[in-house]
Amino acid sequence: MEWNGQTRTCGLIGNPVEHTLSPLIQNHLAQSLGQNLVYVPFHVPEGGLRAAVEGAYALNLLGLNVTVPYKSRVMEYLDQVDPAARRIGAVNTLVRTGDGFKGYNTDMPGLYRAMGEDGVKVTGRKVLLLGAGGAARAVAVMLWEKGAERIYILNRTPQRARELAEHINGLGPQPGREPSSRPLAEAMALEDYPALAGEKYLAIQTTSVGMYPRTGEALIEDSAFYELVQEGYDLIFNPAKTRFMELVEAAGGRAFGGSRMLVYQGIISFELWTGEQVPPRLAREICALMPFSK
C-alpha cells in the first residue's frame, strides 16, 4: 500500500511494546480492506502517559491501543470512557472524538466474538473463572453483561476472589434479567472445586500460568477438575495450545486458546477507528499468520 498525505496513523502505547503483535494485525487489516492507514508502536516511558495521549491528539492520530501498564491510568486523560470499560476498570482502545479520545475495552468483546464463532454460549451458563486479577475482572464483567447464570471464581488467594465477587455482585441486576436474591458471583479457594461436582461448566483460565516459556504448567493439574469442564478457554495465546487446553481435551471437553481473542480485540479496535466491518475470513487469515509457539 502506498502511504501519502492522506494516510491516517494509529498506534500502540505501552511499556514495553517491542514484542507486540498488534502492528501485524492492524496493518494486515488496513492493506486487505484498502484503508489508507498505518499502525506503529510507541514506547511510552514511565511518567510520559499524559504527554503521549495529548501529543497523539495534537498530531491528529486516528486512534490508539493501550497496553500494560497504562490500561487503567489512561482513563484519567480521556474525554469519555465507554460504560463497559468503566465497569472493567481498564481501557485498551482510544478513538478520536471532537474533544479528545474516548476509551473502550475491546478485549472482552473480542473474547465474546470468538466464543460466538466457536458456538459457545454464555447466557444461562455456569462458569468456572480461574484467577482474580485484571483479566479475570474483565471476563467477569462480560459474563455479567451477557447473562451468565453463575460465576465461581477460583483463585490461589481467596481474598482476591472475594473482592472480585463483591465487585461483580455490586454491579446490580444483569441487563435484561430479573433481579435475583442469589449473588451472581461466588468466591472459592482453588482447591475447593470438588464441591462443584455433578455438573458441566464453561471454564475460563485468566492467569499467566502456562504462558511461554513455562508451557508445561497448569493452574490445576488434577484430572478430576477437568471432568467438570464442557468447554475451556485459556486467554493465553502463546503457546497456541496450553497445558490447560490439553487437560480439557484429555477429559473430553472442547478447548480454545487466546489467539482469536487477541485477533478479534484488534479487529474491533479497527472497526471503531474506521467504521468498517471486518469479515470473519480476515480473522482466520490473521490467526494463520501469527508466530505462536506450537
Note if 71 is an active site residue.
Answer: yes
Cell numbers of 134, please? Answer: 485484571
Cα–Cα distance between 139 and 205 in angstroms, integer? 10
Q: Which of 71, 102, 146, 241 is catalytic?
A: 71
Query: Sheet containing 80-81: which strands, arranged edge to edge?
Result: 37-43, 8-14, 63-66, 93-96, 101-104, 80-81
Q: What are phi and psi of 67, to 5 degrees?
A: -125, -175
Cell numbers of 129, please? Answer: 473463572
Could you give the residue numbers annotated as active site?
Answer: 71
